[in-house]
Structure 1
Amino acid sequence: SRGPEAAEKGHIQGAVAIRLEDIVREKYQFPVDRKAYIVLYSQDTNLPGLAPIVKEVSTWGYKHVYILDGGYAGWMKKDGAIQKGMVRTKIYYLPRPHPGEIVGDEFMNVVNSKPSDKLILDVRSKAEASMGMIDGALNIPVDDLQTRLTELPKDKEIITHCVTGLRAEMGYSILRNGGFKARFLNDKVAIIDNRLYCCFK
């Protein structure tokens, strides 16, 4: 939040330089992914200046918005990685997948190509699945999964999905603990009239 001029002399490696007074106006730059981690920093902690920005950015739906304790000065004291020059003023966000997560493009490729060594497991409720399912997928609600593991093949990679990714990750954990090769889709899925709408925000 110190701005490009101050950042030119030194900034935290990978940081984007936007002046404090411009952050809210740059809302359009922020990641579509509302689960992205956003860390704001000034020269020091600067709670009076940054706290209102954190509050505003949080109203946009972001779940993880923080202020760097000690700011840039504190970062320097802890020998954090810095760089001079090469100042970025535009946000380029590349999310890091969670362990076991399959990205949307690969998931859609599996849906369309139906490889014989993979199984898509729909862990939504029976009521949700009755409204439409991915062609070729198997439905076992996540609440029933632990007691129905014997119904699943051990020679295939099992990819779980739900509606938001939460139950899919729970299903993934159950499968991994059961000795299965598995991944999960941590993204939004809607199936309307048996048409799949995937990976939207």
Structure 2
Amino acid sequence: DLPDAVRVFPAHGAGSACGKNLSTQRQSTIGEQRATNYACRPMSREKFVQLVTAGQPSAPAYFVYDAILNRREHGLFDAAAAPLPLSVEEFMRRRADGAVVLDARSPQDFAAGHLRGSVNVPADGRFAEQAGMVVAPEQDVVVIAPQDREEEIVTRLARIGFDKVGGYLREPEGAFPALAEDMTQASRLTADELRSALAGAEPPLVLDVRNTAEREEGRIEGSLHIPLAELARRTEEIPAGRPVVVHCAGGHRSSIAASLLRHTGRTDVSDLLGGYGAWLALPAPADV
């Protein structure tokens, strides 16, 4: 019922998990939305609900937590009182006491060497949103961050209400040699290696962690689909005693998902380098 001239300022921008097909515009008008927005055309209530919910990505688990938190009085985040760097001994003591190690380095650096049981959520991406998918807000967290980005990582976690960060490892690359017994590497397969494994006597389970709309555009035959936002609460759906290869669209979310599965105790977990894009780029199998 609002007139066309009323201005609209969206609360969320393109790329947000709060909706689909979000525009990059930072302001608009009701009139412009009537003329251009697919969801503002005249239609029944039932048609509208069906239209806007089809292909909608799964909401990260922290959305409910934040909705509850926003109804309460909550102190402002004080960047000056941010967690301090931890020595190796302090860091490992907090880890032993149950803190989740959140490793914000790139999937490549994480795969090359990381603390056993760490969860990899790369800083270069939708870090806070994805961290909120795989780490529970009540969990204590200690951080391993790319060099000079420690305070940034802590601040981005605080923006979604995750303010139980106990500190970060001071100069991790220099600290890792002293932690050699607790370090491990992550298995990553090329698309060709995955195809060969699937043709073998004991094929792995392929886990697709893309969103539903992405999967509808194509899938690896026989793969199990659990979107990353739902994985933490649906791990029991993944058959035990079988190797797992995780894939997403390009290899970013699959590193997060694979590290989460290892964190929960699964040992034979790999992720697909290049994701579904690399799988599609495979040449057709040679004729026998």
TM-score (norm 1): 0.44
Structure with bigger strand share is 1
TM-score (norm 2): 0.32
